[in-house]
């Protein structure tokens, strides 16, 4: 794997792990972290060994949002420089959201601002009881614009109205209640156990089907159930059923054997 300064990447069996590694700065975003995360995700996406990706962090915090020194520098940028800077963060969020492989957020501590965006952009999120969350941008006189599509998709407009406008902190229990987290566990040991169980479930399924399923969700979400949507879904299942993986999955089921993507 490539050498990075702000993140760690590794492959453990079929699992790619990208770890934010700036604990002294609470894994806050700056130009380097954004660039390295984008590159690291693309590297794991391209690695044929990797079937699922876990996003984790070192230290006490998952991600504290924007680094204040980065924001201070950005305040002196020209309009064009500011736009390019924002687009790099948007590129990171889109890369994570659109990764063809399943993604899991391992949330061991507080997540603020863009950290909440990272969690929302993952397919699955598991957190510890003591994790805390905040969409804190308005406290700084800015808005959570780049992360808003992902947070809205995760928790809905109603809860975004409250937490984006108040910038108040909310608990892991509340994050679970409103849909930001899928599962809560007492501590980091249980966090790893829960993620291992999820990965076992993921690895039992067709990798190409999972990629197609992620694409399907993005296309269908929020669309009316009209003729165009119905036709699109019919075309998608037709393509997948006729694919080599689709044929293998059906044959394995009928022959009562594991499909060829399940490891021995």
- Annotated catalytic residue 137: yes
pLDDT in tens, 116-127: 999 999 999 999
Residue ranges with strand state E in the chain: 7-12, 15-20, 52-57, 103-107, 111-112, 124-128, 132-134, 170-171, 183-185
Per-residue pLDDT at 1:
67
Question: Closest by alpha carbon to 117, among 140, 87, 93, 91?
Answer: 93
Whole-number pLDDT of residue 17: 98
Q: Does residue 34 contact residue 92 with C-beta atoms inside 8 Å?
A: yes
Q: Quick one: which H or E segment has residue 222?
A: none
Among the four given CATH numbers 3.40.50.1100, 3.40.50.1240, 3.90.226.10, 2.40.50.140, the one describing domain 7-203: 3.90.226.10
The reported pLDDT for the residue numbered 197 is 97
Catalytic one of 91, 137, 188, 193: 137
Which one, of 180, 177, 183, 145, lies nearest residue 164 by Cα? 145
Are 70 and 25 in contact by the 8 Å Cβ rule? The answer is: no
Instruction: Give the number of other CB atoms < 10 A from CB of residue 258.
Output: 11
Residue-level pLDDT at 128? 97
List the chain domain ranges.
7-203, 207-254
The C-alpha atoms of residue 202 and residue 73 are separated, in whole angstroms, by 42
Q: Is the four-CA dihedral 152, 216, 259, 250 of positive or negative sign?
A: positive
b/e map 27-44, b = 16+ CB within 10 Å:
bbbbeebbbbbbbbbebb
Exposed, middle or buried: residue 230 (CB in 10 Å: 0-12, 13-18, 19+)? exposed
Are 44 and 92 within 8 A, CB to CB? no
The residues of the chain scoring below 50 in pLDDT are: none
pTM (two decimals): 0.94
Can you give the C-alpha Rg of the chain in angstroms?
19
Could you report the per-residue pLDDT of 174-219, keeping only the tens digit for each? 999 999 999 999 999 999 999 999 999 999 999 999 999 999 999 9
What is Dmax (Cα atoms) for the chain?
Answer: 65
CA angle 62-162-136, nearest 5°? 40
Nearest to 119 by CA among 72, 85, 69, 153: 153
**Model pLDDT, residue 80:** 87
% of the chain with per-residue pLDDT over 70: 99
């Amino acid at each position: 794997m490539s050498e990075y300064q702000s993140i760690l990447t590794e492959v453990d069996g079929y699992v790619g792990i990208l770890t934010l590694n700036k604990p002294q700065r609470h894994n806050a975003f700056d130009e380097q972290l954004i660039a390295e995360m984008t590159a690291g995700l693309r590297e794991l996406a391209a690695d044929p060994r990797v079937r699922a990706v876990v996003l984790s962090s070192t230290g006490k915090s998952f991600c504290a949002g924007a680094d204040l020194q980065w924001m201070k520098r950005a305040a002196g940028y020209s309009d064009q420089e500011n736009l390019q800077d924002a687009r790099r963060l948007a590129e990171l969020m889109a890369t994570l959201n659109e990764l063809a492989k399943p993604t899991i957020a391992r949330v061991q501590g507080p997540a603020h601002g863009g950290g909440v965006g990272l969690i929302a952009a993952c397919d699955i999120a598991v957190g510890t009881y003591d994790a805390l969350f905040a969409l804190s941008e308005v406290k700084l006189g800015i808005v959570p614009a780049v992360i808003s599509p992902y947070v809205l998709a995760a928790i809905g407009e109603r809860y975004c109205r409250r937490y984006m406008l108040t910038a108040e902190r909310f608990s892991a229990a509340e994050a679970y209640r409103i849909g930001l987290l899928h599962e809560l566990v007492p501590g980091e040991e249980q966090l790893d156990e829960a993620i291992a169980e999820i990965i076992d479930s993921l690895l039992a399924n067709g990798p190409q089907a999972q990629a197609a399923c992620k694409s399907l969700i993005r296309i269908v979400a929020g669309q009316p159930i009209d003729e165009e949507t119905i036709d699109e879904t019919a075309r998608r299942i037709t393509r997948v059923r006729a694919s080599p993986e689709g044929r293998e999955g059906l044959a394995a089921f009928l022959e009562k054997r594991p499909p060829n993507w399940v490891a021995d």
